[in-house]
Amino acid sequence: MSKFFAFLNRMKYIKRWSLMRSVREENIMEHSQQVAVIAHALALINNKILGGNADVEKTVLLAQYHEVGEVITGDLPTPIKYFNPEIKTAYKDLEKVACEKILAMLPEELKGEYEKYILPDCDSIEYKLVKYADRLSAYLKCVEEVKAGNSEFKKAKATILSEIKGYESEEIGYFMKTFAPAYELTLDELD
């Protein structure tokens, strides 16, 4: 009996932004879905606007599974995760072990199909688009929180925006110009 899906269902109980008070709580499952939606847009931008050849389905699946290891490790806040190279490396190693443990729960016949999304090729364009989508998701969370009056996210918003502007990614530039401004609007303004 495989416990894989039951185990992944725990993603909805692991909270994000654990060190900051949030107006709206967010869990890993919700975050992964938002990253998948953004990654989908980035892959389409890559292909349709920029003439690239990103595999859209692969991009979305990588995004959907990009936080699977946190079912075991939990979410470690970014300032801690990237405090120094030793902690970053140790956490990446821990995440890999967690992902391997989760993959071991699958029947052997399916393991390879999931492994390419849970332990991906980090040099692929699809993986890079997911990393961009993850940072865009963090930025949009900050926008949402600040818009709701939560000043705790002001510095994070500015820091992440600065980081995003530093990426040499035409996909991010297009997304930020075309889609991101709408996140600043109220529901009435979207109508």
With a cut of 70, say whether residue 11 has pLDDT above it. Answer: no
By the 10 Å C-beta count (0-12 exposed, 13-18 middle, 19+ buried), 187 is classed as exposed
Weakest-pLDDT range from 5-14, 79-88, 122-131, 177-186: 5-14
With a cut of 60, say whether residue 133 has pLDDT above it. Answer: yes
With a cut of 60, say whether residue 171 has pLDDT above it. Answer: yes
Q: Could you give all domains of the chain from N- to C-terminal order, each with its CATH number?
A: 4-190 (1.10.3210.10)
User: Would you call 42 helix, strand, or coil by DSSP?
Assistant: helix
CB 139 within 8 A of CB 160: yes
What percent of the chain has pLDDT above 70? 91
pLDDT of residue 7: 67
Average pLDDT over residues 33-56: 98
With a cut of 80, say whether residue 188 has pLDDT above it. Answer: yes
Average pLDDT of the chain, as a whole number: 89
CB 189 within 8 A of CB 164: no
Tens digits of per-residue pLDDT, 72-110? 887 777 777 777 888 888 888 889 999 999 999 999 999
Average pLDDT over residues 155-181: 95
Tens digits of per-residue pLDDT, 49-78? 999 999 999 999 999 999 999 888 877 777
Which of 56, 52, 64 has the alpha carbon at shortest distance from 40? 56
Instruction: Measure CA 178 to chain center.
Output: 20
By the 10 Å C-beta count (0-12 exposed, 13-18 middle, 19+ buried), 30 is classed as middle
With a cut of 90, say whether residue 14 has pLDDT above it. Answer: no
Q: DSSP for 107-139, please give it.
A: -HHHHHHHHHHHS--TTSHHHHHHHHHHHHHHH
With a cut of 80, say whether residue 111 has pLDDT above it. Answer: yes
